[in-house]
C-alpha cells in the first residue's frame, strides 16, 4: 500500500500486508487440530529442530530489538523476556511496552523470537520462541509510523545495546536516505539487521510488488523470504536479487494481547514471521559464539542454510532455509567484512548499487571518490584495516600485455599511414610540391595512432575495465525487469 507524501500510516494498515495471508483465531491453544495437539510448538519448531537447537543455545542474554507497534508486557509467554525499550513519536509508549498495533503485531513478533514455554505462575504458556533465553528490546513506533520513525528506531535500538534488530515491516522500492543511514549506523556498531522481504497478494503482477522491499533491500541486511511447511517457497513471499535467507512464513502461531483474542493466540501468515524466526536464530548463534562479529554470524548462517530451489544462491530462497542446528554445530569462519556487501553468485548488479558505498564505509572499507561525471567506472574499494587480503583475481590484461598492445597499435598506425600516403601519391598524379586547389583539404586518414592530446594509458596502469570493476556490487533488477523506483518523499506503505 502506498501513502501520499507527508502522511503517516496507521501501523495496523502498514503491517497488515505483511501478514496478508489467512489470520486465524483458533479454539483452545491453536488454530488447527494439529497445532492444538502440540501446544508448545508448531510445525516450524519441528521443521527447524528447535528442541535440538535449544540443547546448544537458547539465545541467553542476547538483546533483540523489535521495531514495531510496541509489545504487550502482560502476555505470560513474554514474562521475563522484556527489557525497557523506547518509543518513537507522540503516540508510542516511552518504554515501548504497550502494543498499539490493532493486530498486536509487535507482540506476535516478540513471541516468535523469545516466547517462553512456562509462564511466571509455572503454567504452560503454549508457546515456544526460537530463542527463549533472549531479551526483547521493544522500540515502538506507536499506532502510526513512517520511514523516518523506522530509521530512528534502528538507531535507538543500536544505542540501547541490541545485537540483533528485527524489522518485520517494509515498503516497496528503494530505501530512503534515513533508512540507509540508520542501517549503516547499526552495521558499524556490530549489529545484525534482519528485515522482511515483503508479501505479494495472490494475482498481483506488479513487478514492483514482486521485488524485495526496503529496508530489506539495503546491502548488508539479511533479507528474509518465506517458506512453507513442505520446505517449498511460500507463494505469498516477495523475491529477488537481494534475497539472503528463507524461513517459515505460513500458519505460524504466535501470542497476541488478550484484548484481541480470548485464547491469547493467533495463527498468521507472512514474511514478518520469517523475519522474527531468523532474528531468533541470530540470537542463538550470538549467544553460542559471543566472540563472533556480525559479519561472521551472517557468514555462518548463509553457509549452513539448507539449500533449496536451484543449486546455490537463488532469487527465492537466497542461500537457503535457515538451519539453526547446523549454524550451532558447524565451525564458524571469522570474516572481517559483511558478506552481504558483495553480490551472491549468479546475481548481477543493478539499481541498488547506489546504496553500497555508505555501507562499505560502515564496514571499514575506504571508498574513493567517484570519477568524473559521465564515467561509468567505479573505483575499487580498499579492504578494511586488519582484514586478510587474498590474491586478487585476474580481471584483465597485465602490464606487459598493455605495453605490448600499445606498441602494436602504434606500429599498425604508422604502417597504415605510410601505406595510405603511398596509395594517394600513386593515384593522384601531381608531383610532390604541387599546389592544392583553392579551398581543398587533404583527405582524412583513419589512423590507429592516438590523436594529439589524447590520454594514453601509462605502462603499468590498470585497464579501464578493471579499474572500474566494483568489488561489492549490490544486486538489483536484472535486464528486462523494470527498475525499482524510490518511494515518494515522505513515506511509503508498509506491510505485515
Summarize pLDDT for 39-79 with one digit per residue, the tens: 444 899 999 999 999 999 999 999 999 999 999 999 999 99
Is residue 54 among the annotated active site residues? no
Is residue 434 among the annotated active site residues? no
Average confidence (pLDDT) over 314-327: 98
Q: pTM of the full predicted structure?
A: 0.69
The partner residues of 382 in beta bridges, in order of sequence, read 366
Identify the band that residue 208 occupies on the pLDDT scale cut at 50, 70 and 90: confident
108, 72 contact by CB (below 8 A): no
HSE on the CB side for 474, CA within 13 Å? Answer: 20
477, 211 contact by CB (below 8 A): yes
Residue 206 to residues 200, 211, 233, Cα–Cα distance (Å) = 9, 9, 19
Rounded percentage of the chain residues whose pLDDT exceeds 70:
61
User: CA 382, CA 365: separation in Å to the nearest integer?
Assistant: 6
Per the residue annotation, which of 42, 68, 103, 138 is the catalytic one?
A: 68
* 232 burial level (CB within 10 Å; 0-12, 13-18, 19+): middle
264, 107 contact by CB (below 8 A): no
pLDDT, the chain, mean: 74
C-alpha cell at 182: 540508520
Please give the residue that has the higher pLDDT: either 114 or 29: 114
Rounded percentage of the chain residues whose pLDDT exceeds 90:
58
- Which pLDDT does position 145 carry in this prediction? 86
User: CA 95, CA 464: separation in Å to the nearest integer?
Assistant: 54
Is residue 68 among the annotated active site residues? yes
Domains of the chain: 18-336 (3.40.50.200)
431 has a pLDDT exceeding 50: no
Per the residue annotation, which of 272, 289, 355, 357 is the catalytic one?
A: 272
pLDDT digits (tens, 9 = 90+) for 115-138: 999 999 999 999 999 999 999 999
**Which residues, 6 or more positions from 455, have their beta carbon under 8 angstroms from its beta carbon?**
none
Per the residue annotation, which of 100, 105, 265, 357 is the catalytic one?
A: 105
Amino acid at each position: 500500500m502506498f501513502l501520499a507524501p507527508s502522511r503517516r500510516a496507521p501501523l495496523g494498515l502498514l503491517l497488515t500486508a505483511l501478514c496478508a495471508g489467512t489470520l486465524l483465531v483458533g479454539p483452545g491453544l491453536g488454530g488447527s487440530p494439529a497445532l492444538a495437539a502440540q501446544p508448545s510448538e508448531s510445525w516450524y519448531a519441528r521443521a527447524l529442530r528447535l528442541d535440538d537447537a535449544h540443547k546448544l543455545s537458547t539465545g541467553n542474554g542476547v538483546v533483540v530489538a523489535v521495531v514495531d507497534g510496541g509489545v504487550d508486557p502482560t502476555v505470560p509467554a513474554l514474562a521475563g523476556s522484556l527489557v525497557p525499550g523506547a518509543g518513537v513519536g507522540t503516540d508510542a509508549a516511552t518504554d515501548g511496552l504497550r502494543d498499539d498495533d490493532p493486530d498486536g503485531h509487535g507482540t506476535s513478533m516478540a513471541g516468535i523470537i523469545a516466547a517462553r514455554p512456562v509462564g511466571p505462575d509455572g503454567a504452560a504458556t503454549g508457546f515456544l520462541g526460537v530463542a527463549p533465553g533472549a531479551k526483547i528490546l521493544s522500540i515502538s513506533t506507536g499506532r502510526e509510523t513512517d520511514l523516518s520513525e523506522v530509521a530512528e528506531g534502528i538507531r535507538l535500538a543500536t544505542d540501547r545495546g541490541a545485537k540483533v534488530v528485527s524489522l518485520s515491516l517494509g515498503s516497496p522500492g528503494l530505501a530512503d536516505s534515513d533508512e540507509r543511514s540508520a542501517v549503516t549506523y547499526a552495521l558499524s556498531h556490530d549489529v545484525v539487521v534482519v528485515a522482511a522481504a515483503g508479501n505479494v497478494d495472490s494475482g498481483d503482477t506488479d513487478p514492483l510488488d514482486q521485488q524485495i522491499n526496503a529496508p530489506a533491500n539495503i546491502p548488508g541486511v539479511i533479507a528474509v523470504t518465506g517458506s512453507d511447511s513442505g520446505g517449498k517457497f511460500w507463494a505469498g513471499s516477495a523475491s529477488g536479487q537481494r534475497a539472503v535467507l528463507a524461513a517459515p512464513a505460513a500458519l505460524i502461531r504466535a501470542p497476541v494481547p488478550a484484548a484481541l483474542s480470548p485464547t491469547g493466540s493467533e495463527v498468521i501468515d507472512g514474511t514478518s514471521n520469517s523475519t522474527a524466526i531468523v532474528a531468533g536464530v541470530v540470537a542463538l548463534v550470538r549467544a553460542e559464539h559471543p566472540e563472533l562479529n556480525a559479519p561472521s554470524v551472517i557468514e555462518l548462517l548463509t553457509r549452513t542454510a539448507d539449500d533449496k530451489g536451484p543449486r546455490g544462491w537463488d532469487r527465492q530462497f537466497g542461500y537457503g532455509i535457515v538451519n539453526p542446528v547446523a549454524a550451532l554445530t558447524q565451525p564458524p569462519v571469522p570474516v572481517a567484512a559483511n558478506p552481504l556487501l558483495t553480490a551472491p553468485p549468479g546475481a548481477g548488479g543493478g539499481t541498488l548499487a547506489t546504496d553500497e558505498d555508505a555501507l562499505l564505509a560502515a564496514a571499514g572499507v575506504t571508498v574513493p571518490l567517484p570519477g568524473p561525471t559521465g564515467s561509468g567506472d567505479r573505483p575499487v574499494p580498499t579492504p578494511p584495516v586488519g582484514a586478510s587480503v587474498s590474491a586478487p583475481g585476474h580481471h584483465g590484461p597485465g602490464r606487459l600485455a598493455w605495453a605490448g598492445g600499445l606498441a602494436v597499435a602504434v606500429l599498425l598506425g604508422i604502417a597504415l599511414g605510410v601505406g595510405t600516403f603511398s596509395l594517394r601519391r600513386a593515384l593522384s598524379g601531381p608531383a610532390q610540391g604541387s599546389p592544392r586547389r583553392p579551398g581543398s583539404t587533404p583527405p582524412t586518414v583513419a589512423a590507429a595512432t592516438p590523436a594529439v592530446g589524447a590520454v594514453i594509458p601509462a605502462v603499468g596502469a590498470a585497464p579501464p575495465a578493471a579499474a572500474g570493476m566494483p568489488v561489492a556490487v549490490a544486486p538489483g533488477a536484472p535486464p528486462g525487469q523494470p527498475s525499482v523506483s524510490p518511494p515518494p518523499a515522505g513515506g511509503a506503505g508498509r506491510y505485515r
